[in-house]
């Protein structure tokens, strides 16, 4: 038994065209984002500070781990 639809025949085509326009718009935005990212300066490396072993605090096996470490973000101040 055939299935009849009251939906206009061109409604599917119009929906397809609208979806393709949306996808093209999204693709353009993604390309613009990537272009903007490439134009930016590369991020600075973090500041890593390695402290020597403190023998008064680190005794026994904990001294094998090494001294304390600090990792800091290189903040830019304009």
Which tens digits make up the pLDDT trace of 35-47?
A: 998 888 777 888 8
Burial 15-52 (b: 16+ CB within 10 A, else e): eeeeeeeeeeeeeeeeeeeeeeeeeeeeeeeeeeeeee
How high is the pLDDT of residue 76? 65
How high is the pLDDT of residue 28? 94
Q: Which residues make beta-bridge pairs with 70?
A: 49
Q: If we measure between CA atoms, which residue out of 43, 45, 63 comes closest to residue 54?
A: 63
- Residue 78 predicted with pLDDT over 60: no
How far is residue 68's CA from residue 49's CA, in Å, rounded to a whole number?
A: 8
Q: Can you tell me the mean pLDDT for 13-39?
A: 92
How far is residue 16's CA from residue 10's CA, in Å, rounded to a whole number?
A: 10
pTM: 0.43
């Amino acid at each position: 038994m055939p299935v009849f639809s009251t939906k206009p025949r061109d409604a599917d085509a119009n929906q397809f065209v609208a979806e393709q326009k949306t996808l093209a718009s999204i693709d353009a935005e993604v390309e613009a984002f990537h272009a903007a990212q490439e134009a930016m300066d590369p991020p600075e490396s973090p500041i890593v500070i390695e402290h020597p072993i403190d023998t008064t605090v680190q005794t026994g096996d904990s001294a094998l781990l090494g001294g304390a470490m600090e990792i800091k973000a290189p903040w830019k101040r304009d």
